[in-house]
Amino acid sequence: MRKFTYFVTAIISVILFYFTFESVVDVYRANWQLPNETDQESLNNRLVLITQELDTPFWDKVSAGAKKQAEKEGATLEVWGSYGNNQENFLKQIELAIYSKMGGIIVQGLDTDEFKELTKVKAASYGIPIITVAHDVPSSESLRKTYVGSNQHLAGELIATQLIDDMGTQGEVILMLDSRKEFYQEQRLKGIQEYLKKFPKIELIETTTENTREQGIALTKDILNRHPNVDAFIAVNSNFTEDIIEEIERRSKIGPYYIYSFDDNRASLSLLKQGKLDGMIEQSPHRMGERSVMLMMEWLNNDTVPLYLDGYLTDIRMVKALDIQ
Amino acid sequence: MNNIQKKIWLLAVVVLVIMASIWMSLTFYNQKMQNQYNNILERYLVMNELTRTSQEMVTALNNYLLTPIAENLDSIDRSKNQIQKMKDEVANFKNAENELALTSYINLIDSLIETTDRSLVFHSEDGTESAMEALNEATFISNYISEMTLTIIDTELKTYDRFYRAIINQSEELNQLGIWMLLLITFLLLLYTYWFSLRITKPVEQLTQAASELSKGRFDLKIAVDSKDEIAFLAKMFEHMRNNINNLILEIQKKAQLENELQQSKLLLKESQLRSLQSQINPHFLFNTLNTVSKKAYLEGSEETSDLLVSVAGLLRYNLKHLDKTMTLYHEVNVLQQYINIQKARFTDRLTFHTEIDEGCLHIEIPGLTLQPIVENAMIYAVEPNEEGGVISFRVKDEGDRVIVEVEDDGPGMAEDKIQQIIDEEQEHDTMVGHASGIGLSNVVKRLRLFYGCENVIKIEAKIGNGTKVSIHILKKRGDDQDDKGITR
């Protein structure tokens, strides 16, 4: 009996000790993880990349490149922007960036007065350098430091060359632009026009509409109705690519039409892979991001002053549907 | 831990320490949590306040531009100061995850202040248009600030999500720990209290037991208490007392025995003296007369009679003189010889007396008149009643550490119960009748025992019809000689 009592007592105390110890360990282990403290110095070079088209493959690549470069340079980079070409929000972001006294602003160019006003007056008065990326705005109107991106004029020429190669020197070509006629679109258009001038049998038809999906589809409908013999489409604003293809598919086969676009649209690449798109200008978004941050840092560190105003051009190349398939 | 008070103190201190440590750790954790909660809350409150104040400042600016009075200007300044102060506070909230947003936020506030200042400057220079424009701008910035506040609070919530959950978890863990701790401490305290009370009550119980045994008169049980406190001291003292009582009792017993023995030996001596006095009616006269008669007999030519008379006189003198003295064996043997001479004259051929004496033993001390009564006894029982006479053998032998004196006869022997009576010194059956010295065998036994302080000094072997053998064992070295003082005194 005595032995039994001892045994039970020992067992109970072992159990109690074990659980108490366990919970003590638990309490100590449940440590509160506060966010890391920061050192103020890392905030010297605060850069911001602002785009109208967040979360598109093209801009994702740009921001990835920019972030990588920023990390390398010891700067902090934030990516702001608006979704789906929301201009109002986009401009607000730029304004906010200016008021927040960012070290530098890398921005997708927008060829509007408000944009120019912001960059020219506000940014300049706050002394914030601005570099346009991917889409340019004339330097004299925006006081941007430089432009990093594709040579849009050349891109236009490349498309035109491809068109001639594919279609021959005769036919009706529809050029789809948006009604805002942004600078980069103008340049692309100019490139195409200049090249195609040499072929008088090619008829260029410029169409413009607002940069929305409904308008794009409506415009395509309208074109197809008015110009039944159209041979080729060039989506100078690549956002129209999907609309064109969707509308054509609704009516007939896509095969006979020559359709060209640029890669700064989320659907371009997949359409090209499906063979619905005949050719696409591929730009170097990653490189653009890298280069823009690099140049901005050079500017901020006074390494290269002034920057080359005409811009630093990145590679472009023509990708044909046949190449991918 | 050697006394009860210390034990109690220890218990109290242990309990106190445990409670204090639990209380302290709980308080510490609570404080820590409280601080965190306060910090978190303060962030939100400060940011909210900042937003509100920035709006107020814009309103004040607007008012001032509309009605430029000093009061409005004051309120602008007040707001500005407040904003500056809060801006510094907000700057402290920076961490790795919100530093960019927070920097922008702080810059926004700076911009707001700058724009406000600019507006005031334009206003003082009468550029009302520009002042209004700056006001507009300030309004925008103020709006941005409130938007940014929301964004930051939102990110804060995300950033601190893990932290909040950890806090919740920890408080749950603490609760659990509290329960386990309570159980453990309760259990341990129960155990300790049980052990502790046992340590106090068990010795008391043992002591009570011992006391009750003592009160019943059992002094031989040792009092043992397994403890080290005051009870142990008590027990030790108790044990001491018991030992003392035991010793006292023993001493009293011994004293009583001694007293008793002394009394006996005194009585014995008195008796012997009385008897010898009774028999010595003017012994000197008798002695002188015997000597005269002896000489007379010698002169008349009766030499044999003369010798006999000398022997009788010698025996008589010895008996008178040396009854209470210690003699050597040599003297005793001499007297015995004289006695035998007398008896030979009486019994002539009927008495045959053999002696075997180890001369080396004759210096041994022996109480006076011990051998003669024994031989006399043999004479009375073995020779006298027998017409044919008898044989008496007397031997003195050396046996190492002791000397043995033997008196053997071939008489009718002695009954067992009679031997026992003699050994037990029962006086009424003594055989003093017919003894020359009036001293019986029992008396001899008693004296021998007293003299040597040892019980088995005499041995009687007898069989009915087959003679009797009395042997006295005398140790050469007397072991305990305090007992014979009573005799020699």
Is A73 within a domain? Answer: yes
Cα–Cα dist A217/A239, whole Å: 11
The answer to whether B144 contacts chain A (CB < 8 Å) is yes
pLDDT at B130: 85
A253 & A289 share domain: no
Amino acid occupying residue B364: I
A183 & A242 share domain: yes
Residue of B143 and B278 predicted with greater confidence: B143
Q: Residues of B numbered 12-51 whose beta carbons fall under 8 angstroms of chain A's beta carbons: which are they?
A: 29, 36
pLDDT at B435: 61
Average pLDDT over residues B338-354: 86
Interface test with B, best of A9, A12, A20, A78 (most B CBs within 10 A): A20
pLDDT single digits (tens) A132-160: 998 888 878 878 888 998 898 999 999 99
Strands A202-209 and A171-178: parallel
CB-based contact B99 A9, cutoff 8 Å: no
pLDDT at B238: 84
Average pLDDT over residues A179-195: 87
Q: Which pairs with CB-CB distance under 8 Å and at least 24 residues apart come from A209-218?
A: A209/A176, A209/A178, A209/A179, A210/A178, A210/A179, A211/A85, A211/A178, A211/A179, A211/A180, A211/A237, A211/A239, A213/A242, A213/A243, A216/A176, A216/A240, A216/A242, A216/A243, A216/A244, A217/A243, A217/A246, A217/A247
* Nearest CB to A27; choose among B110, B177, B187: B177
Closest CA to A234 of A274, A197, A289, A191: A191
pLDDT at B489: 36
CB-based contact A32 B177, cutoff 8 Å: no
B213 pLDDT above the threshold of 90: no
pLDDT at B480: 45
CATH code, domain carrying A125: 3.40.50.2300
Interface test with A, best of B170, B172, B179, B182 (most A CBs within 10 A): B170
Q: Which two tokens stand for residue B250?
A: 């023993």
pLDDT at B257: 94
Is A132 within a domain? Answer: yes
The answer to whether B162 contacts chain A (CB < 8 Å) is yes
Burial (CB < 10 A; 0-12, 13-18, 19+), residue B378, is buried
Q: How far is A289 from chain B (nearest CA, A)?
A: 20
Do A138 and A114 contact (CB within 8 A), yes or no?
Answer: no
Q: Which two tokens stand for residue B143?
A: 């709006």
CB-based contact A26 B176, cutoff 8 Å: yes
* Nearest CB to B166; choose among A32, A78, A96: A32
Interface test with B, best of A7, A9, A25, A27 (most B CBs within 10 A): A27
pLDDT at B487: 39
Is A10 within a domain? Answer: no
A224 & A166 share domain: yes
Residue of B184 and B435 predicted with greater confidence: B184
The answer to whether B96 contacts chain A (CB < 8 Å) is yes
Q: Which residues of A touch B181 (CB under 8 A)?
A: 20, 23
Chain B residue with minimal CA distance to A23? B177
| pLDDT confidence band for B481 (50 / 70 / 90) | very low
Average pLDDT over residues B90-103: 80
Q: How far is B195 from chain A (nearest CA, A)?
A: 12
Q: Which domain holds residue A156?
A: 152-283+320-324
CB-based contact A100 B177, cutoff 8 Å: no
Average pLDDT over residues B124-130: 83
A201 & A164 share domain: yes
Give the containing element (helix H, strand E) for B321. helix B303-321
Q: Which residues of A touch B188 (CB under 8 A)?
A: 13
The answer to whether B66 contacts chain A (CB < 8 Å) is no
The answer to whether B88 contacts chain A (CB < 8 Å) is no
CB-based contact B95 A36, cutoff 8 Å: yes
CB-based contact A33 B166, cutoff 8 Å: yes
A116 & A200 share domain: no
Average pLDDT over residues B113-138: 87
CB-based contact B36 A32, cutoff 8 Å: yes
Highest mean pLDDT among A176-190, A252-266, B88-102: A176-190
CB-based contact B111 A100, cutoff 8 Å: yes
CB-based contact B187 A13, cutoff 8 Å: yes
Q: Which residues of B touch A46 (CB under 8 A)?
A: 100, 103-104
Average pLDDT over residues B284-301: 85
Q: How far is B232 from chain A (nearest CA, A)?
A: 26
CB-based contact A26 B188, cutoff 8 Å: no
For residues A229, A232, A235 and A241, what is the CA-based torsion angle, rounded to 10 degrees? Answer: 80
Helix B4-66 vs helix B99-124: crossing angle, to nearest 10: 40
Radius of gyration, CA atoms only, chain A: 28
pLDDT at B484: 41
Amino acid occupying residue A11: I
Domain parsing of chain B, residue ranges: 4-159, 322-488
The interface predicted TM-score (ipTM) is: 0.73
pLDDT at B375: 86
A85 & A188 share domain: no
Interface of A with B (CB under 8 A): 9, 12-13, 16-17, 19-20, 22-24, 26-27, 30-38, 40, 42-43, 46, 76, 78, 95-96, 99-102, 126
CB-based contact A30 B183, cutoff 8 Å: no
Q: Which residues of A touch B29 (CB under 8 A)?
A: 27
pLDDT single digits (tens) B321-343: 766 677 888 888 888 888 888 88
Closest CA to A8 of B383, B349, B186, B191: B191
Cα–Cα dist A97/B295, whole Å: 174
Q: How far is A80 from chain B (nearest CA, A)?
A: 12
CATH fold group of domain B322-488: Heat Shock Protein 90 (3.30.565)
pLDDT single digits (tens) A271-318: 888 888 888 898 999 999 999 999 998 888 887 777 788 888 889 988
pLDDT at B426: 66
Give the containing element (helix H, strand E) for B393. strand B390-399
Cα–Cα dist B261/A195, whole Å: 162
CB-based contact A102 B104, cutoff 8 Å: yes
A305 & A279 share domain: no
* Nearest CB to B180; choose among A13, A16, A40: A16
Is A12 within a domain? Answer: no
Do A140 and A125 contact (CB within 8 A), yes or no?
Answer: no
A161 & A254 share domain: yes
Helix B70-91 vs helix B99-124: crossing angle, to nearest 10: 160
* Nearest CB to A17; choose among B140, B163, B184: B184
CB-based contact A13 B191, cutoff 8 Å: yes
The lowest-confidence range among B35-49, B170-184, B222-236, B302-316 is: B222-236
pLDDT single digits (tens) A116-132: 888 888 888 888 899 99
The answer to whether B189 contacts chain A (CB < 8 Å) is no
Chain A residue with minimal CA distance to B164? A32
Residues 6+ apart with CB under 8 A from B288: none
| pLDDT confidence band for A30 (50 / 70 / 90) | low
CB-based contact B180 A20, cutoff 8 Å: yes
Highest mean pLDDT among A109-118, B192-201, B229-238, B249-258: B249-258
The number of domains in chain A is: 2
CATH code that applies to domain B4-159: 1.20.1440.210
Q: How far is A246 from chain B (nearest CA, A)?
A: 39
Cα–Cα dist B74/A3, whole Å: 87
Question: Which DSSP state fits A325?
Answer: -
Task: Determine phi and psi for B310, rounding to 5 degrees.
Answer: -60, -45
A116 & A184 share domain: no
pLDDT at B324: 67
* Nearest CB to B95; choose among A13, A17, A38: A38
Share of chain A above pLDDT 90, in %: 14
Cα–Cα dist A188/B279, whole Å: 180
B224 pLDDT above the threshold of 80: no
A62 & A120 share domain: yes
Per-chain mean pLDDT for chain B: 82
